[in-house]
Amino acid sequence: MIEFHLDGRSGVAPYMQLIQQVRQALRLGLLREGDRLPTIKDVVAKVAINPNTVLKAYRELEYEGLVTARPGVGTFVARTLNEEAGAVEPLRVELRAWLRRAQAAGLDPESIEALFATTFRIQLQESA
C-alpha cells in the first residue's frame, strides 16, 4: 500500500501529483501488479483533499491501464511500469558520465539542473 502526500507549492495540480506518485511507485517497484490502492476515503482522511481529486486521479490511471477498479472491492494495480527497466540502467550510466563532465567543467548544481531542464523542454517541444 502506498501513502500519498501533496506539495502545495509545486504548481502541479493535486490530482496529477497523485498520478505521478503512483507511477513513481510502480517504477520503483513499491507497487506491484495486484496491489490495492488506498480507498478514496482513506486518502482524503489522510491528506485532507477533495474526494473528487482522488477519483479523478484514479480514473486517469484506469484510463492509462495502470489500475483496474473493482466496484465495492477497491482499485488494484493492473500492470507495472518496469518494462523499460533494461533500458534504464545503461542510460543512467551515460547520464552520470555526463554529470561528471558538467561538474568538471565548473557548473554548479543549479546550473546543471537549469541546463538539463531547458534542454529537456526544447527536446520535448521538437519531438512533439
C-alpha span between 120 and 109 (Å, rounded):
16
Which of 37, 14, 41, 12 lies closest to 25 in space, CA to CA?
Answer: 37
13-72 residues near other proteins, rule: CB under 8 A = 13-14, 40-41, 44-54
CB of 45 or CB of 117, closer to other proteins: 45
The CB-of-65 to other proteins minimum distance in angstroms stands at 23
Using rule CB under 8 A, residue 103 touches other proteins: no
C-alpha span between 19 and 27 (Å, rounded):
12
The CB-of-71 to other proteins minimum distance in angstroms stands at 15
Burial class (CB in 10 A: 0-12, 13-18, 19+), 1: exposed
CB of 48 or CB of 124, closer to other proteins: 48
CB of 4 or CB of 81, closer to other proteins: 4
First to last CA, the chain: 35
- Joined together, the cell numbers standing for residue 80 give 507495472
Give the binding range for other proteins (CB under 8 A) out of 11-19, 82-90, 94-102, 108-116: 11-19
Residues that bind other proteins (CB under 8 A): 6, 8, 11, 13-14, 40-41, 44-54
